[in-house]
Amino acid sequence: NIETLKTTCTMLEEQVLELETLNDELLEKERQWENWRSALDEEKNQAERRARDIQRQLDNEKQN
């Protein structure tokens, strides 16, 4: 009976280690995703600013 408990405990410890590893990997992927998303948002904002600037230039040229 004690051997069964030891075996079960060892299996549970191994599963905990595997879950901790998976959790670390997921946290890293989440961090990478957030970095990618932030970079994409920044690129989008820059593109929108450029589009507004170009539109202003076109509007100014039409007025002149």
pLDDT of amino acid 56: 98
Element (H, E) at 57: helix 2-63
pLDDT of amino acid 54: 98
Look at the block and give the residue holding tokens 């998976």.
22
CA–CA separation, 30 and 39 (whole Å): 14
pLDDT of amino acid 36: 99
pLDDT of amino acid 19: 99
pLDDT of amino acid 64: 83
Low-confidence ranges of the chain (pLDDT < 50): none
Q: What string of H, E and C letters represents the secondary structure of 38-51?
A: HHHHHHHHHHHHHH
